[in-house]
Structure 1
Amino acid sequence: MAFRLLITLTVILGLSACSTRLNPFNWFGNEREERIEVVDVITIDDPRPLVSQVISLNVDPHPGGAIVRAIGLPPRQGYWSADLVEVERTEGRLVFDFRVFEPPTATRQGTQRSREILAGTELSNQDLEGIRTIIVQAQSNRRSVNR
């Protein structure tokens, strides 16, 4: 009887910890979208424009850090060489621009699924030290995840 009670309490306490900050798989979550209008500044260092919008943002922990993945939606097919470019690191906040090259020739618009483009970056535990919010911004919106 005492053994069953001990097992039951262990399972309950284990499951209750799943939604806390103690669980490393819950490091970043609660994705939010905010509509904005960004004035795109193209520099000599990176001539790529911002993607039209960010439709998804995930931060997945792994041993030694985390992987930031974002899916962008350009206005038509053929965009390439997508990257998340770090533009700001302030107290508790890390901001990336989602940058892509436009297709060199005219292309069809196509379906949303055919236009989606994925970009990602790896962050070490040292990169994440003190970071509470990760933001990825595009021309018309930005998405953020919080710890």
Structure 2
Amino acid sequence: MKKPLLAALTLVMFVSACGAIRTSRLNPFNWFGRAEATAPAPLAAKPSDPRLLAAQIIDLKIEPMPGGAIVRATALLPNQGWWEAELVSGDPGPDGVLTYDFRLFPPLTQTAVSTPRSRQITAAAYLSDIQLGKVSAITVQGQGNALTSRR
């Protein structure tokens, strides 16, 4: 009777100590914070990609996964029918900020405006642990705004 009780108390003590890991930098779920609004960076005069920048970035999430992280951004567009969305990245700058441009093609024909939910489009990119080692912040920019998530 004493051994199972002692084992249960020991287990409870170990599990209660896990609360400190939740807020630790060792926890991969704490690698990047919430996205905050920033001003978009100036673009090159003639980008090599013919797609347009998204009108407004409304959400940015960095989701940890084994071997790296997924950068997922959602944009709100002026109407429906935009296609081939992609997060186009550059090299991390000297300050460790990795900037993505949210690029996509406009509709080929005139389309409805409808509800904001129907005009949202999501794009994602994968970053390995090696790529994340050089990065201190990730920025996704559109035409009107940018969102940044920092470590």
Question: Residue 33 of structure 1 is aligned with which of 31, 37, 41?
Answer: 37
Aligned to 2:56: 53
Which stretches of structure 1, 4 residues or longer, exceed 3 Å deviation after superposition?
1-9, 35-42
Which structure has the larger Rg?
Answer: 2
Establish whether residue 69 from structure 1 lines up as the match of residue 72 from structure 2: yes
SS in 2 for 1:106: coil
Question: What does the per-residue CA deviation read over 1:86-117, in whole Å, with 9 as the maximum and x for residues that have no partner?
Answer: 13411321110000100111111111100000
Deviation at 1:36, TM superposition (A): 4.7
Q: In the alignment, is the contact (CA less than 8 A) between 2:32 and 2:150 conserved in 1?
A: yes
Question: Residue 111 of structure 1 is aligned with which of 110, 115, 118?
Answer: 115
Q: In the alignment, is the contact (CA less than 8 A) between 1:42 and 1:48 conserved in 2?
A: no
Letter in 2 for 1:122: Y
Letter in 2 for 1:61: P
**Equivalence map 1:1-147=2 (5 Å):** 6-36=10-40, 41-43=45-47, 45-90=48-93, 91-147=95-151
Question: What does the per-residue CA deviation read over 1:53-102, in whole Å, with 9 as the maximum and x for residues that have no partner?
Answer: 11111111111111111001111111110000013411321110000100
* CA pair 37-95 structure 1, distance change in 2 beyond 3 A: closer
TM-score, normalising length: structure 2:
0.85
Deviation at 1:142, TM superposition (A): 0.6
Supply the distance in 2 between the matched residues of 1:106 and 1:59 (Cα, whole angstroms): 34
Task: Tell me how large the CA RMSD over aligned residues is.
Answer: 2.1
SS in 2 for 1:11: helix
Letter in 2 for 1:98: F
Q: Which runs of 5+ in 1 are unaligned?
A: none
Supply the distance in 2 between the matched residues of 1:129 and 1:144 (Cα, whole angstroms): 17
Question: What does the per-residue CA deviation read over 1:24-53, in whole Å, with 9 as the maximum and x for residues that have no partner?
Answer: 12211221112558567552x310110001
TM-score, normalising length: structure 1:
0.87
Q: Which runs of 5+ in 2 are unaligned?
A: none
Which protein is richer in strand relative to its size?
1
